[in-house]
Each structure stands twice: as structure tokens, then as C-alpha cells.
Chain A
Amino acid sequence: MRHLICFGNDLHGDDGFGPAVCRRLAEQPLPADVRVFEAGTRGLDALALFEGCDEAIVVDAAEPAGQPGRLAFPDAEICAEDSSLPGHGAGVGYLLRALSALGTPPRLRVMTAEAAALTPFQPGLSPPVETAVEEAAQVLRGWLGAERV
């Protein structure tokens, strides 16, 4: 099994990138061994989503750094050291560290889109991040081999 786990909060502007990608992919056919989860801002209980799979793909927003909407594919170990992914309290970095402390995690891949700005309590993605959702969905479909479905 492969799990696609999307983090973020729709109510906080570009932090809604992960949930938007989740919805986009859920509209399309995916291989039978892929399960897609919207993990919201969940903390340690999201560890359960990393169980029962050989590979887990994490999708999240990244802090603004001058190029809104830019996709990046950081190493999971680096994300674990840097828990600065915004918006979720203890953060996805904390979760990834907990995951590796527990023993052998599944293969991990991470995809982020750079937020335009941190805009708490303002629903809706900025135009560049909105564009990045479609791009991200295409990349993920490629990773998952969904074109052949």
C-alpha cells in the first residue's frame, strides 16, 4: 500500500494547499494500492496514517521564501529536523521525528508548495498556490503511476 497524507488548514490561506491537493486527487482515478488522507492539523494521532503502507507521501505548505507556489521535494530527514512548516502547532516536523523514533518508518517522500504569505483565518489560496495545486496533482499522479489507471 501507498499512503498520500495531506496536511494543512483550509482556514489559513495558503496553508490549505495540502487539503486542496487531496481534493484534486480524490476527483481522479488512482491505482488500487493508493489511499489518500486529508490529515488537517492533526498531531501525534496522525502516526496511525503512516502504518500499513510501504511508502508514505507527505504533502504540506512551506513557509514563504520569495517564490510563492514553488514546489519543493525536501528530504524527509531534513523536514524532521526543521519543524518550521507553518500552522500546525507542534508541526509536521515533530510528527516525522516521532515516526523515525518509533523504528522503521515506511519510505517517505515529501512535497511542499511555498506559501505566498501567512494569512490566518482567511480562507482561500493565493493565485500562485492555486496554480501549484494542479501542478502538484500532476507530479503526484506521475509518482503514483496514475496515468496508467
Chain B
Amino acid sequence: MARVEINMGLNRVEGDLEIGVTLEDGVVVDARTIGTLYRGFEQILVGRSPRDAMVITPRVCGICGTAHLYAAVLALEQAWNLPVPANATRIRNLCLMAEGIQNDLRQTFLFFAPDFCNPRYQDHPLFAELMAAFEPFKGGLHRETLRVTRRVVEIVAHFGGQWPHSSYMLPGGVVTPPDERRVLACRAVLDEARAWYERRVIGAPLDEWLALDSAESLFAWLEAPARAASALGLMTRFTRSLDMHRLGAGIPHMISFGSWCDPLQPGSHLLPAGFYDGDSGRVQALDQARINEHVRHSWFRPYAGGRHPFEGETVPDFQPGGDRYTWAKAPRYGDRVVQTGPLAELLIAGDPLITSLHAAEGGNAWLRQFARVRRAGVELLRARRMLDELAANLDAPHYLAPPPGSERDGQGCGMVMAARGALGHWVKIKDGVVERYQIVTPTAWNASPRDSSGEMGHWERSLIGVKVRDPDDPVEIGHLIRSHDPCLVCTVHMLGSGRKLRFAP
């Protein structure tokens, strides 16, 4: 038996996230995800004015700053018990959807699909088609995605002045009212994105695609020439020919914080929150009190077991040489390891097609990517609805000033579905300043290290059992890692050769 251990150097320049794998006879038998960068955003916030979170936390990420802003403002509104006008929620939702469309399309066509152009596949019958579509900077889909995604975040700029790192939400609403000019400008951007998505991504009208409700109807639908030639059709035919619908399931349990606050029913979501129990196959109501984070395998000041974010701390404590291996914590739901992202979001919300596919084949790398393409369609539809509702209520308020004395000490949490899944901010305010601030990102859930019981995180689990044909070009691992939408430049270490492979965005 050939067992190959990994030679793992932690280089902070090359990547913020590394994955070490051990192969035995060409099969992955162990995996570790390593966050190589201590970020420290929570520590930055301690002692500051609570409102500073709305300027500082959108800087956590250059892709999903709107989601961080949204979570930060919800946490303060909960702590201060502030009402939010419907138009503010509509504008927040619209911008979060635009950011999601940007991410879902870029991740799919700029980061996931280019791996299909690997010379490994040059004898595959679809190779010429794949190159014509997905070859970086040359393929039609690649170039068009660059153009469309550059435009779609202009929606955020119309209301937030800039994207990324914008700070246009504040407790009680948003800074910019809707007006006809903004609504029309956003409609134009959205209509263009939708027309492209229909023509090139799915090869069909959006309503027809979203109405598909079963695995059988999907595969029959994809047979038609226009759909088979679409980006979704091509990607599906190719990835399923690689058996990616049988690979990389990872952890069966899933979590969603609910997508987009309901403008008219505070506390509810347009797509519901929930916990999907992978053992029973049932969705349960989400109980945020069950969320806790472990640091047993992380470089933070040790504490026993898991802590709820309201009681959490993020005190760096680098301890090389032992069994701690990452700057990421291990979030858990109760004692369950979970995954999150578009698949979790749509499955928990009861999307009939995703539910049917999941029932037929279980979770897998193809379905994860497929769900991301489908969510972009859901976002296009819902964003248009937000705009229509704004257009019908142009004179309604976009901001309700907090009454004097409302900014008191207390605690609050803000939970949203970001592009990559469940994102939460937890804040405790004492003597008018932040006493504790905890951020649990989607990637913290998915790329989690082992917890106090030694249970692997989702990405780690998803790699176990993968067969690698050529350890010098482990394209199988690349497909799997990218299907998770890694949020940081991700380096994978293989073997003892010192060879590193980078999987960026």
C-alpha cells in the first residue's frame, strides 16, 4: 500500500486557505482545511461604537460585503428593537440579490467551469464545446460573464454609492430612497442580465426553468437542443460524465438562516430558515441558540467544548507543532456538523426540483454547482419583484429615525444568507460600546476544522474517498474544492513533492 503524507508549509502569501490531503493508493484518506490567515475583525470592533460595525464589517469580504452589512445592521436593530420600513428591506434585499447573482455567475463560469479546459479532457467528446464556452478570456461564456457580472453590481452602487465595501444600510433603514430614475436604471441592468441568463445559461425562459419540479422533468427538458447547448446543459452533461453526481457529498446535515427578510412581515423570510437533518431527511425550525463554535483544533485561546457566539471570543494563540491547524473555528449546530450554501438554501426552502434531485441522488458536487446556477435564476426573479414593489411604493419611507434613547446596552444577532450560505453577526453592547462581536461566516461552517469530538468539517469530509488519477495534476480535487465556492485563494498541498496548486478566486 502506498501511503503518502503531505508536506505542508504554511505560507501566508500564497493563499489564505490551504487544504492538505493524504493519499493511500491514489485515494484520499485524510483531509484538513487550514485557514492560514488570522483576520481579527471581531477584536477590531471591541470597544468601538456599535455603528462602526457597518463600516468595518463590509470589509471582511470583497465579494459579499452587502451580506455583512445586512447582518451587522440586523444585529443592531434587534439589540435596539427598531422597526424597519418595508422599502428599506426591499432595497436591502435587492442589493443582496444583485451581489448573489454576481457571485453565482462568476463562481460558476469564471472559477468552476475553466477546469473543464484541462488538457486531461482533450479526448472527451465535449472538449471542443467546452473550450469554446469556458476557456479563460477566450471562451464565449467566460467573456460574457465578465461583462454581465460587472454590470449587475451597479444595482448596489445605485443605492449604496459603490460596490464592494459599501455602507448604505443603517439602523432603521437605508440612506437612499427609491426614485423613478434609480428603479428604471436597476431594471435595465436586471433585464439585461436576465435576457443573457435565459439565452446563454439555461436556453429557455426563466419561468419555464423555475417551474421544473422533478429530476425526471429536468433530464427530459435538458434533451432539447437549445437547452443541451446552453451553459447549464453543457456543464451538466460534462460533469455527470465525470460522475460528479456521485462524488463529494460531504456532511448530510444542512443549515439556512432564511433568504431575504420579508418586507411586510418582520421576522419572516421570503425563503424560510431551517435545519435539514440528514439522518431523518426532515427540515426543522432553526434555533439560533443551538449555534456554537469550537476551538479545539484552532489557534485560539483554548476553551472547553463549544460556545454560543454571544459568549464567544476570538483571541489568537498560535500553537505550532501540535494538533491545532487553522485560524478558523469550528461552528456546530448543537453537536451536528453542517454544510451551508445554495444547495442548503433551496433544499430547506423546499424548491421542488432541488428536493427531487437530492432525494434521487443525495448531495454531491454536481448538485451543489447546479443549485448555484438555479439560485441565480431565483435571484433574478425575486430582484425584479423587489423593484416592482418599490416602483409601486415610491413615496413610502425608506428610513425611520431611531427614537432618542433607543441605542441602549444589550445584545442582538443578525442572520442572513450570503452568497456562500449562512452568515451571522452577534453583538453585545455594554456602556455604549461593543463588548463582544462574533462573526460566523458561511466558509467557517463549510471549511471548518475538526471540533472537540474530532468530527471533520464539511469540506474535509467531502474529499474522503476521492480517487486521484494523477497526483501531479489532481483535477478531481480541484473540481470538488471549486464546487464548494471557496471564498479565499485556496492552495491545495499534495504529496511530499512540495508541489502546490492554487485554486483562486
Interface residues of A (CB under 8 A from B): 12, 42-45, 47-48, 86-87, 89-90, 97-98, 100-103, 118, 120-121
A101 contacts B62, C-beta separation under 8 Å: no
Contacts of B150 in A (CB 8 A): 44, 47-48, 102
Q: How far is the CA of A102 from the CA of B12 in the complex (A)?
A: 32
Interface residues of B (CB under 8 A from A): 12-13, 62, 106, 110, 136-138, 142-143, 146-147, 149-150, 153, 163-164, 489, 504-505
Name the CB-closest residue of A to B65.
A45
Number of A-B contacts (CB under 8 A): 43
Q: A42-B62, A87-B13, A101-B143 are in contact. List 6 more A-B contacts (CB 8 A).
A: A43-B62, A86-B13, A89-B504, A90-B504, A98-B137, A101-B146
Which of A43, A90, A102 contacts B147 (CB under 8 A)? A102
Check A90/B62 contact, CB under 8 A, given A43-B505, A47-B150, A101-B143: no
Which of A48, A101, A103 contacts B142 (CB under 8 A)? A101
Q: How far is the CB of A12 from chain B (nearest CB, A)?
A: 8
A45 contacts B146, C-beta separation under 8 Å: no
Q: How far is the CB of B40 from chain A (nearest CB, A)?
A: 12
Name the CB-closest residue of A to B157.
A48
A45 contacts B137, C-beta separation under 8 Å: no
Contacts of B505 in A (CB 8 A): 43, 89-90
Q: How far is the CA of A102 from the CA of B138 in the complex (A)?
A: 10
Q: How far is the CB of A116 from chain B (nearest CB, A)?
A: 16
Which of B106, B138, B164 contacts A101 (CB under 8 A)? B138
A102 contacts B13, C-beta separation under 8 Å: no
A120 contacts B163, C-beta separation under 8 Å: no
Which of B106, B136, B138 contacts A44 (CB under 8 A)? B106
5 A–B contacts, CB within 8 A, in A order: A45-B163, A48-B150, A90-B504, A90-B505, A101-B142
Q: How far is the CA of A103 from the CA of B142 in the complex (A)?
A: 13
A90 contacts B146, C-beta separation under 8 Å: no
Check A121/B12 contact, CB under 8 A, given A43-B505, A98-B146, A101-B146: yes
Instruction: From B12, B62, B504, name the one whose CB has the most chain A CB atoms within 10 angstroms.
Output: B62
Contacts of B142 in A (CB 8 A): 101
A97 contacts B13, C-beta separation under 8 Å: no
Contacts of A86 in B (CB 8 A): 13
Q: How far is the CA of A122 from the CA of B16 in the complex (A)?
A: 17
B12 contacts A120, C-beta separation under 8 Å: yes
Which of B12, B62, B137, B164 contacts A97 (CB under 8 A)? B137
Check A90/B13 contact, CB under 8 A, given A101-B146, A102-B147: no
